[in-house]
Amino acid sequence: MHHIRYFLAVSETLNLTKAAERCNVAQPALSRAIQDLESELGGELLRRERALSHLTELGQRMLPMLRQCYETAHAAKMVAASIRKGEAAPLSIAISHTVALNRFTPTLRELSRAFPSLQLKMHRGSGSEIAEFLKSGTVELAIAGPLGVTWSRCDELTLFEEPFGLVVSRTHGLVDRNEVEFKDLASEKLLINTGCEMFQELRACLEANGILDRVTHQLATQEDVLALLKADLGVAIIPIGAVEASGICCIPLKQLNLVRKVSVYTVAGRHRAVACATLFNTLRAADWGFDTRTKQQRRAHQ
Amino acid sequence: MTDANVSNRLEEAFVRCRDLDVPLADRLQAFANEVRRLGPHFQAAVDALVSRLAQSSAGATAPQVGEPMPAFVLPDEQRRLVRLEDLLDEGPVALAFHRGHWCPYCRINIDALARVEKKVAPDRRHIAAIVPDRQKFAMWLKSDAKAPFPVLTDMDNGYAMTLGLAFYVGDGLKQMMVSSGWDPSVSQGTDNWMLPVPATFIVGTDGIVRARFVDPDYRVRMATEDMLAALRSAT
């Protein structure tokens, strides 16, 4: 592991002497370790010059992989140390208002079991607020719909896709219908969540289907949409993940094919505490029924 | 013969070798012979890898007998977080590192471990497999062998790396594996092309390693007889 740490230091300083100083090691030892890494990876990683060293093509190519390996192994070491010492395990995360927590509660329960000293600090917010939480370092990890951030250090990993559906209260006139069409909504009042990450896309969808003028009430959170929906102020089209826990009804709406991705967001290069590193790896390892890499990965086993 | 063709034949060979009624080492050897016969070019790359790993003493720094096994928290195939100490609360445990659900040697090995588990479980001695594959694939590996023990996911080989058990596959072998349908980047959820050296550690309830088996040649695994004996004598 120290081989990788030395190489990462050289990649940042581009100077063997400075890298050795930073790693608190003699320069010959650092050079030897990098040579070992080179023989392990099967090629030269550095072009050595007196003042400045440069990464070779192989070095450039291996850098992201080695950085990730180092971070993961470092996190695994911290987990071991933290369990040994029984340290407090703080965890700051943000979850979008539009994401139902129930899909994640089993994971959080497991985390709290594995780290009895877990101290969770959970923020809720709109897409832009979530992006700000990440940027400012208020949270280590966030779960939300598309944030639309172009910030290069923000890493996104899609967990699952969630379709939008038409939702109505249990006492609403449409509740017994097997399926409805957009024209059936011509006399309905629509509630809309302006804080939804997909607000613009939803608006465009309503416009394309000729019912944008039915938007009567604009709310800032999905929770408020659901509260007013239950009070019969109108109907709404929302991501269906929220339906299960809320005691409302979802009715199939013909030609509605609005889908959003729910992703986990992290910030590259930022230190993750043990609870966050474990949560992130658990989210990555889990099967959420969505895979961005659908290429055929297995032979027929039968 | 195309690579896809080879991989179909290897799958048939795998089933034949897995079901042989002989010790694990002989089943693994039988499969290695099939690989040698069906894909000689593949074999050369594999031999080169194994000798490279042997030269760089891969796995040599992993915990020795008498040393403590470092703690871990890893998700199992049902998304439960499993800690080493939770496993040891039950009794001594054998931790078996595997390369992945796509590896026929690992599938033969897990099949053999499933049989061992049945013999030692009544005695509160257990097995846990550790793979870099994500949950869905860990689950597949477990059901493939009808294994009663958990298959834990070690994302990015993070835990294996702290033990000095993870290595880079290498560009040449990587190409061959992809074209044969053995692409661990899909099941691992990362393009790192790192794999663990398959290794087995028998850990006593005090967390100390009682026996270990580490061989950079992934075609050779701890003999089930040795594992049984070590698990039975561990306290």
CATH class held by domain A2-84: mainly alpha
With H, G, I as helix, E, B as strand and everything else as coil, classify residue B222.
coil
Please, what is the angle between helix B104-120 and helix B135-144, to 10°? Answer: 70
* Residuewise pLDDT in 10s, chain B (235 residues): 566 677 788 889 999 999 999 999 999 999 999 888 887 777 888 888 888 888 877 788 899 999 999 999 999 999 999 999 999 999 999 999 999 999 999 999 999 999 999 999 999 999 999 999 999 999 999 999 999 999 999 999 999 988 989 888 888 888 888 877 788 998 999 888 999 999 999 999 999 999 999 998 999 999 999 999 999 999 8
pLDDT band for position A300 (50/70/90)?
very low
Q: CATH 3.40.190.10 region(s) of chain A?
A: 86-160+261-285, 161-259
Is A256 part of the contact surface with chain B (CB cutoff 8 Å)? no
Encode pLDDT of A200-219 as tens digits.
999 999 999 999 999 999 99
Interface contact B156-A80, CB threshold 8 A? no
Residue B77's pLDDT is 95
d(CA A166, CA A236): 6
DSSP B198: P
Backbone angles phi, psi at A60, to 5 degrees: -60, -45
Interface contact B158-A39, CB threshold 8 A? no
**pLDDT at A247 exceeding the cut of 80:** no
Encode pLDDT of A120-141 as tens digits.
999 999 999 999 999 999 999 9
Domain A86-160+261-285 CATH superfamily: Periplasmic binding protein-like II (3.40.190.10)
Exposure pattern of A256-268 as b/e (b: 16+ CB <10 Å)? bebebbbbbbbbe
Sorted by sequence, the CB contacts under 8 Å of residue A192 that are 6+ apart come out as: A199, A202, A203, A215, A217, A218, A219, A225, A236
Q: What is the mean pLDDT of residues A278-296?
A: 74
Encode pLDDT of A43-83 as tens digits.
889 998 777 889 998 899 889 888 888 888 888 888 888 87
Question: Which of A107, A110, A299 minimises the CB distance to B181?
Answer: A299
Q: CATH 1.10.10.10 region(s) of chain A?
A: 2-84
Report the candidate in B53, B51, B94, B68 with the shortest Cα–Cα distance to residue B162: B68
Q: Map out the domains of chain B with their CATH numbers.
A: 3-233 (3.40.30.10)
**pLDDT at A4 exceeding the cut of 80:** yes
* Residue A79 CA, distance from chain mean position: 21
ipTM of the complex: 0.91
Question: Which of B144, B170, B192 minimises the CB distance to A69?
Answer: B192
Reported for A57-64, long-range contacts at CB under 8 A and 24+ positions apart, including other chains, are A59/A7, A59/A11, A62/B168, A63/A8, A63/A11
| Pairing of the two strands B126-131 and B209-214 | unpaired
Residue A299's pLDDT is 31
Report the candidate in A211, A158, A203 with the shortest Cα–Cα distance to residue A183: A211
Tell me which fold the domain A161-259 belongs to. D-Maltodextrin-Binding Protein; domain 2 (3.40.190)
